[in-house]
Each structure stands twice: as structure tokens, then as C-alpha cells.
Amino acid sequence: MSISFANGVDARSAARGLVPLCAGAGVYLFFLLAGDGLLGDSDSFWHIKIGQWIIDHRAVPYSDFYSLTKFGESWVSTSWLSQVLYAAPYSSLGWAGPVIMASLAIAVTAAIFIHLLNVHFETARSVLLAILALVLSMHHLLARPHILALPVMVAWVGALMAAADRRTYPSWLLLPLIALWSNLHGGFVLGLALIAPIALEALWSEEPERRVALAARWAVFAIGALAASCCTPYGWNTLFGAARILDLGELLSLISEWAPANFSSFGFFEAALLGLIALAFSAGIVVSLPRVVLVLGLTWMALTHVRNIEAFAFLVPLVLAKPLAGRWKLTQATVGGEIRSAPYVTVFASLTIVAAAWTSTSVYVTHHHFAFTATQTPAAAVDLLEQRQVERIFNSYQFGGYLIARDVKPFIDGRAELYGEKFVMNFFHAVEGRKVDDLLRMLEDFRIEATLLAANSPAAQVLNHVQGWKRLYADEIAVVHVRTDQPLPNAVRAPEASR
């Protein structure tokens, strides 16, 4: 429906908003159909659980109440609004709710991205760049808070860049956007950090006598943005909470999404990086120094942490759009005197697209059952542990979210900033079989009754050979080990009794 509409209207005379809307609808439907791919990370479980708690209690959490090891320690939820936005549709629609939510966010991102690029490029190039950006960030498109923050990021940076392109200062209307961002996800720190280099770009190309005035406006805007980002239930603690996760140091290289870019096999990111270099050397474009700094900064971020590849994918095109357009003379498409559709036709067309998307969604969701990825949901093993009334469980990192969803306290889950660098590092070394002594000491120190480990995890194999532990259950997802010396019926009280 949406596609036939796009073809029917002459793209040149189409009202500007219609192409992004069509592309957005296409992206939305694609991700809805491939919805199971969004449900690949067990962090979604605890995000929804916390969102549910916030809805139920009308309050935000200030301490942890889900974990076995850090129970009661102070912890703030920097993405509380996203959690609520996921939890609300989850309770009424099941997993279809978060999938629709995330797909919608990705679609809005694509639409905003194309809308921003349309100023500089013809539609085909904008759409191609949007597809490239989506393909690059595919590995990180998951039903989690950062996806809901993605459209806000693109809108924010796009608006700042537009202001810099016009050598002016950004509109005050952007401030609610950063406030929204800081409630949605901790990544808003990037938005604050990017104000300075983009301001520099605005000043760079400005005439010298106006520079001071412009710099002052940008400085006031930066302070306003900083203040706006503190408009959360936690106030300025949000800022500290978000900064805290960046302090995790060495640990970040062990968590897969914080790992540095890996080039062992040829991937889309490598292709994009090489393509960027080839573009620079073949087109002969010249870019101002602040833009070069922005491109290098974004590239450096993506090289250091793979999760930043999405920022690279969506923001580098925005930074380079104007110089590229200037070089290629791409904006000649808008000729004066062209025939434009009447506004009511555009509005009607938009409504049709929305209606079509809504119909497709409701039809698809009724007959398709979204399922969470099986490798992170050890249902049978947890059933067994519940039967045995085991309370102190040592679990693999990726099972933490599922345990929270089942109201079982996990040893560890995806909230690395709660557990702290040292604890998580020790945990990873223990589970990866690097330090058997640490593994056994952890099991003793925390009086663990049972372990719930991924089937291929080295620690699970080690426990097969360590005295005092025996394998109780195994399937292709998870392995359960329990202590051998424990009397079977009252497994719960045995450790307490022995102390």
C-alpha cells in the first residue's frame, strides 16, 4: 500500500514529509515482520520488570531489589521512561508490545534521518544512506531503551548540525528533546558532548565580527541543555549515573556490546570505514576542521565500542551531508515554479500510510506469536530450580534477565554498573574458566546452592570435574549443578545449618 502510493506521486513535487514517512512505514513493517530479531537480549526482561514496578508503585527505584549479591545497594534507573514505555504495551500485548515499540522507534529514526538528509541530497541517496545506517547498526537493534532513544539522538544532532550549516544557533525548542533523551536512556551524555564541536563548526564558518555573539548563544544553549538533561526524577544524579557506566574500564571490553570493533572477518562496518576512506580520496572534498574532528570522534567511538557503530552510522552522514552536497551540486532538484500537491492531499496521504501500517500491524500481531530467543531463556532448568526451592543461584551473565522475570534473584545480570568493575571482572574470569580458584571461592563466599550456566560455558565443564559438585540437569540451553554433600529434600536450609 505504502509503496504504490510513493510511486504514484511524483517524488519531486511530493510534499517533503511524504518520502520519509513512506520510508519510515517500510522500515517499521520490516522490523515488525523480523520482530524476533529484536528479542535477542535478556536485558529486555529486567527492563520490562522494572518498568512494571515503576507503573505499579508510581515511583522510581533508588536501590536494587532484584539481585542476590547487591540487594539493597543504591542504584538508579537512567532509562526509567523507556522501561515504562516497554512495560505498558508488554502487559497488554505480550512480546508484540515491545516489538511494535522498538520497530516504531527505528522507523521514526529512519524517517527523521531521511528528512534531514533530503535538504542536501536527492531522495534516492538519502534512502540508500538510511539503509546503510540500518544495516550497520543491525547487530545492536534490540528491544531495549537505547532504541527508543535513537530517534531522539538523530533529531537532536540533526537539528544542531542544521543550525551549524546555517551558521546560526540552535532553537530553544530543542531543549525538551534532551530532557526526553535523558529520561529515555543514559546515552544523552553524547548529545551534550557533541554540542561543543558542532558549535565550533558554526563559529568556524562565521564572519569574525559575529563570532563572539554566536559563541555566547551556543554557550547559553549548552548550559540550558545541561540543565534540561537534569529534568528527570533523579535530578542531577542521572548525569552521574550515566557517567558511571563509562568508568567500568577494562570490564567494558568483556561485555559484547562494549567490545572494540573486530575485523577478523569482513563486515559491514569495515566496508563502511574503507568506503569512507575511498570517498575521501576519490571525491576530493574538503571539509572544515571541526567537521573532521566530528568524523574522527565518531569513528574513534565506533572502533572502541561496537555499540557506538549506530552513532557512527547515523551521525557521520549528517556531518558530511553539507560538504558532500556542495561538492556534488546535488540540491538543484528544487526548481522554482514546480507543481506541488495541495496540503490536504499530503495530509490525506500521510493518514493513509499510517492507517495501512496500523492495519498490517494488527493483522500480523494476531496470528504471529513473538518468542524470545531460546538461548537466553532456560525455562526448563529454572522450573526445576523452582521445584527444588533453590534460592541462591550462580547464573551465567545472559540468564540474569530471565531469572528476574521469573522472580528469582540472580547472582548477576546486565546491570554491570550496579555490580561494579571488580565483581564483574572476577565473575567473567571465573565463568570463562580462566581462574578456577576464583570460581570455587565465589561459590563458597556467596553460599551458592546451585549453578545455572550456559551449556557451552567453561565453568559448567569445570564443575563436572570438581569435587563437591555434581551435574543435576542439562539441556541444550543450560546446565544445572548442585552440591553433592547437600541432603536433597531440604536443600534450602542446608547451608545455613552448616554455619
Partner 1 sequence: MSISITSNVNLRSAPPGLVALCAGAGAYLFFLSAGEILLRDSDSLWQIKIGQSILDHGAMPYTDVYSFTRFGEPWISSSWLSQVLLATVHGAFDWAGPVILTSLAIGVTVAIFIYLLDPYLDPARSILLVTLALLMSGTHFLARPHMLALPVMLAFVGGLMVAADHRSHPSWLLLPLMVLWANLHGGFVLGLALIGPVGLEAVWSSDPKHRFALAARWALFALAALAASCCTPYGWNTLLGATKILSLGKLLSLIWEWMPADFSSISFFEAALLGLIGLAFYRRLVLSAPRIILLLGLIWMALTHSRNIEVFAFLAPLVLAKPIAEQWRTAEAGVRPFGEIQPPYHITIIAALAIAAAGWASTKTFVAHHPFSFVTAQTPVAAVDVLEQRRAQRIFSTAPIGGYLISRDIKAFIDGRAELYGEKFVMDYFDAVEGKNVETLLRLLETYRIDATLLNPTVPAAKMLDHVAGWKRLYADKLAVIHVREDRANAEMLAR
Q: Which residues bind partner 1 (CB under 8 A)?
A: 253, 259-264, 266, 270, 274, 276-278, 280-287, 289, 291-293, 295-296, 299-300, 303-304, 432-437, 440, 458, 461-462, 464-467
Q: What is the dihedral of CA 464, 468, 474, 478, to 10 degrees?
A: -90
How is residue 106 written as a grid cell? 527505528
Identify which of residues 37 and 433 has a Cβ nearer to partner 1 in the complex. Answer: 433
Nearest approach in angstroms of CB 392 to partner 1 is: 22
Listed residue (487, 448, 441, 480) closest to 464, CA to CA: 480
- CA separation for the pair 487, 484 (Å, rounded): 8
Identify which of residues 56 and 437 has a Cβ nearer to partner 1 in the complex. Answer: 437
Identify which of residues 237 and 299 has a Cβ nearer to partner 1 in the complex. Answer: 299
Nearest approach in angstroms of CB 20 to partner 1 is: 27
Q: Would you give the distance in Å from CA 58 to the centre of its chain?
A: 25
Nearest approach in angstroms of CB 469 to partner 1 is: 11
Q: Would you give the distance in Å from CA 38 to the centre of its chain?
A: 11
- CA separation for the pair 204, 44 (Å, rounded): 43
Identify which of residues 300 and 348 has a Cβ nearer to partner 1 in the complex. Answer: 300
Identify which of residues 30 and 268 has a Cβ nearer to partner 1 in the complex. Answer: 268
How is residue 288 written as a grid cell? 572544515
Nearest approach in angstroms of CB 319 to partner 1 is: 10
Give residue for cell 520488570: 49
Contact between 298 and 315 (Cβ < 8 Å): yes
Contact between 365 and 96 (Cβ < 8 Å): yes
Nearest approach in angstroms of CB 280 to partner 1 is: 3
Task: State the Cα angle at 35 between 154 and 38, rounded to 5°.
Answer: 60
By three-state DSSP, how is residue 451 classified? strand
Listed residue (99, 122, 98) closest to 34, CA to CA: 99
Nearest approach in angstroms of CB 356 to partner 1 is: 42
Identify which of residues 233 and 267 has a Cβ nearer to partner 1 in the complex. Answer: 267
Listed residue (3, 5, 26) closest to 346, CA to CA: 5
By three-state DSSP, how is residue 216 classified? helix
- CA separation for the pair 470, 463 (Å, rounded): 7
Nearest approach in angstroms of CB 479 to partner 1 is: 13
Identify which of residues 360 and 461 has a Cβ nearer to partner 1 in the complex. Answer: 461
Task: State the Cα angle at 269 between 267 and 270, rounded to 5°.
Answer: 70
Nearest approach in angstroms of CB 289 to partner 1 is: 7
